[in-house]
A and B are shown apart, each in its own frame.
Chain A
Amino acid sequence: MSTEKHAAAARKYLKDTAKVDWQDETLWLVRGKRDRLSKQIPEWEALRDAASRIKLYSNSHLPELLEQFESHAVANGAIVHWAKDAGEYRDIIGGLLTGHGVRLFVKSKSMLSEECGLVPYLEGLGIEAVETDLGERIIQLMGLKPSHIVLPAVHIKREEVGRLFEKEMGTEPGNSDPTYLTHAARRNLRQYFLKADAAMTGGNFAVASTGEVVVCTNEGNADMGTSAAPLQIAAFGIDKIVPDRESLGVFTRLLARTATGQPVTTYTTHYSAPRKGTEFHIVIVDNGRSRILADREHFRLLNCIRCGGCMNTCPVYRRSGGYSYSHFIPGPVGVNLGMASDPDRHKGNLSACTLCHSCEMVCPAKVDLAEQIYRWRQHYHTSAGKKAISDGMAFLMGGPGRFGAGLTVGPGAMKALKAVGGHWGKGREFPDIVSSKNLESIEKQDHGK
């Protein structure tokens, strides 16, 4: 995650053109797969409308749906915990693990755990936390953070993975064959699944009418973990609630198609009850979500199902990489979620948008991502240079006389613009300011004929 403004971080990232092009092509390929699959579903746009409406309904009926979920989950034999913020989330999970004497903890990918800083916290308690989704495991072994929410290691080349596994898992030197490396990771992870004292997942959806937590993965490693450990935890944000299985079906049809261009995730697991002789704990987390819900301009952010589709389509994300953003979630939704959590810390991401609106058209739950960025920009200003240019233009356009005068000094004005804002001229020529010609006269000339 970047500690500087997106624009500055992106400028550095862009120096390695070959890597930029590779990332762009890789992510565009995913967008292409999404396009092809979505166009095989005649009712695709109706599905998106339905998803948006279900989310708006669910998020405006949270109290009853969450309580309904809880009562069903408890009836199923689960133990439900409520966390109002990241601190409570960490305390609950830390307390459960230490209370059960857990030393080794396996977890599948959960953006909520990233959001709440779970793994570093557990390490502080002396608990070894092992990520079990392959991409996430690669990132963990490298000491990095995800650069994409669905494809956390999308910025890592297979040769780098080969070298990493050689060091960590004793694979053959120089072998970076993906199948070979995947098998090595599989063997390596199995020892953790067998030894783990507890396993955790996030939750893609929580079904109010049944009390089930639904987890969608492709590798099945979440299921490996939860099938072996004596203690299972599932944690999710309050915005993951859906009313019933019928509405769940709308989302499972949209999620994988948008995220990775698959008809459905390989595994869609409904966790409801603990296995015999084990405990199943569910942690329901707010951590700022009810504040977003109360924000008239940004409540639709809670529609997000974390598919990553907006990242794959974002022309800026594809060319600036996940680490150019200051928030742990990058791309269009990350810009917005960062602003919703800590605007002063994350306002440097607001420039990372051309307002092309592609993200809004890809979003399966119709979050108004670009429009929200526009709104944040009205309240949080990011650059003195931009303000100067904007003010200058607003003044110049205040009257036709000023504007006309501005045009006669056009080339000079463009140079001044360059001095203020910098950087137009690098890699791109200035346009010629043509003239201050009185265009309105074309009408008079024409009618005079």
Chain B
Amino acid sequence: MKVALFIPCYVRAVAPSVIEASYKLLRYLGVDVAVPEGQTCCGQPMGNAGYEDEAEHLKKRFEKIFEEYDVIVGPSPSCVVYVRERYGELFRGRIYEICEYVHDVLKPTSLPGRFPHRVSLHNNCHGTRLEGLAAPSELNVPYFNKLKDLLSLVEGIEVVEPERPDECCGFGGLFSIEESAVSVKMGEDKVRRHLATGAEYVTAADSSCLMHQGGIIAAQKLPLKTIHIVEILASGL
């Protein structure tokens, strides 16, 4: 079985350590993962902003790069959902967000390493409501949270959630620019609630939410750090 690592463009740009952590984690769990060359962007930012047509060439590029693989794994729920939902049938059933893949397919019972910190978990919108990483707070469904399950395998960690644990943080792609006033207010509210948990770190499965929240944390010089969940899961590797 051929497994490929999908590198979302903004993760490469602002958080390349997440890619290295993803690679190490998959290798540690016995996956012979390939990192195809020539990857750029799936087209999600353009699509969500209303320019899906103009990102058609990115879709073609993505299809060409990944069509030969049986499984594609990427560390970003929103990009993975975009490909799954907007690319037609081609990748349905074989593209996974990395936490989903590790939790549902690889099912580790332990992970090496320690992360002796209090961590506030941001359940991001697309991961929770579209990808199924956790039970959305709106629905009357049995509680589950795959991110918490995975984090519980890390020694020493204390996982907490802010009030309104899956309310949007206000990033929203180009929303963050076009509606910057609302976006910043949402981010400030979100970060304030993380801070109230007494956590040292904010973690999430999506680097874009963390980039936005990290921007607020830096502007307000708050005693909080952001870290992608895969970096915690791979902390002993």
Interface residues of chain A, those whose CB is within 8 Å of chain B, are: 6-7, 10-11, 14, 20, 24, 28, 35, 38-39, 41-42, 44-45, 313, 315-316, 319-320, 350-358, 360-362, 374, 377-383, 385-387, 389-391, 393-394, 396-400, 403, 407, 410, 417, 421-424, 426-435, 437, 439-440, 442-443, 446
Is B38 in contact with A442, judged by CB distance below 8 angstroms?
no
Is A386 in contact with B177, judged by CB distance below 8 angstroms?
yes
Contacts of A440 in B (CB 8 A): 35-37, 39
Given A315-B168, A431-B215, A446-B23: A353 and B175 within 8 A (CB)? yes
Cβ proximity bits B2-45 to A, threshold 8 Å, 1 near / 0 not:
00000101001111110110010001000001111111110101
Contact of A386 among B9, B49, B55, B188 (CB under 8 A): B49
Say how far A383's CB is from chain B's closest CB, in angstroms: 6
Is B175 in contact with A354, judged by CB distance below 8 angstroms?
yes
For the complex, give the distance between the alpha carbons of A440 and B52 in Å.
Answer: 27
For the complex, give the distance between the alpha carbons of A426 and B172 in Å.
Answer: 17
For the complex, give the distance between the alpha carbons of A389 and B180 in Å.
Answer: 15
Contact of A377 among B50, B130, B219 (CB under 8 A): B50
**Nearest 8 CB-CB pairings of A with B:** A354-B172, A377-B50, A423-B180, A361-B138, A397-B41, A356-B168, A428-B215, A421-B177
| A–B complex contacts, Cβ < 8 Å, 25 sampled | A7-B178, A7-B179, A10-B179, A38-B140, A316-B179, A319-B186, A354-B170, A354-B172, A361-B136, A374-B47, A377-B48, A378-B52, A382-B178, A390-B46, A394-B54, A394-B55, A400-B38, A403-B9, A422-B180, A434-B13, A434-B14, A434-B16, A437-B16, A440-B37, A440-B39
Is A41 in contact with B177, judged by CB distance below 8 angstroms?
no
For the complex, give the distance between the alpha carbons of A386 and B166 in Å.
Answer: 27
Which residues of B, 57-104, contact A by the 8 Å Cβ criterion? 57-58, 61
Given A355-B48, A442-B35: A427 and B168 within 8 A (CB)? no
Contacts of B40 in A (CB 8 A): 396-400, 403
Contacts of A423 in B (CB 8 A): 177, 180-181
Contact of A428 among B7, B12, B219 (CB under 8 A): B219
Say how far A37's CB is from chain B's closest CB, in angstroms: 10
Contact of B130 among A11, A357, A432 (CB under 8 A): A357
Is A390 in contact with B54, judged by CB distance below 8 angstroms?
yes
Q: CB of B122 within 8 A of chain A?
A: no
Cβ proximity bits B152-192 to A, threshold 8 Å, 1 near / 0 not:
00000000000010111011111111111111111111000
Is B51 in contact with A390, judged by CB distance below 8 angstroms?
yes
Contacts of B224 in A (CB 8 A): none
Is B137 in contact with A35, judged by CB distance below 8 angstroms?
yes
Closest A residue by C-beta to B215: A428
For the complex, give the distance between the alpha carbons of A446 and B23 in Å.
Answer: 10
Q: CB of B53 within 8 A of chain A?
A: yes
Q: CB of B1 within 8 A of chain A?
A: no
Which residues of B, 177-223, contact A by the 8 Å Cβ criterion? 177-189, 211-212, 214-216, 218-219
Contact of A407 among B12, B54, B55 (CB under 8 A): B12
For the complex, give the distance between the alpha carbons of A421 and B38 in Å.
Answer: 28
Contacts of A20 in B (CB 8 A): 185
Given A386-B177, A426-B180, A439-B20: A361 and B214 within 8 A (CB)? no
Given A386-B174, A426-B184, A437-B16: A393 and B125 within 8 A (CB)? no
Q: CB of B139 within 8 A of chain A?
A: yes
Closest A residue by C-beta to B78: A355
Q: CB of B129 within 8 A of chain A?
A: yes
For the complex, give the distance between the alpha carbons of A66 and B126 in Å.
Answer: 40
Is B140 in contact with A39, judged by CB distance below 8 angstroms?
yes
Say how far B226's CB is from chain A's closest CB, in angstroms: 10
Given A361-B136, A428-B219: A439 and B50 within 8 A (CB)? no
Say how far A333's CB is from chain B's closest CB, in angstroms: 15
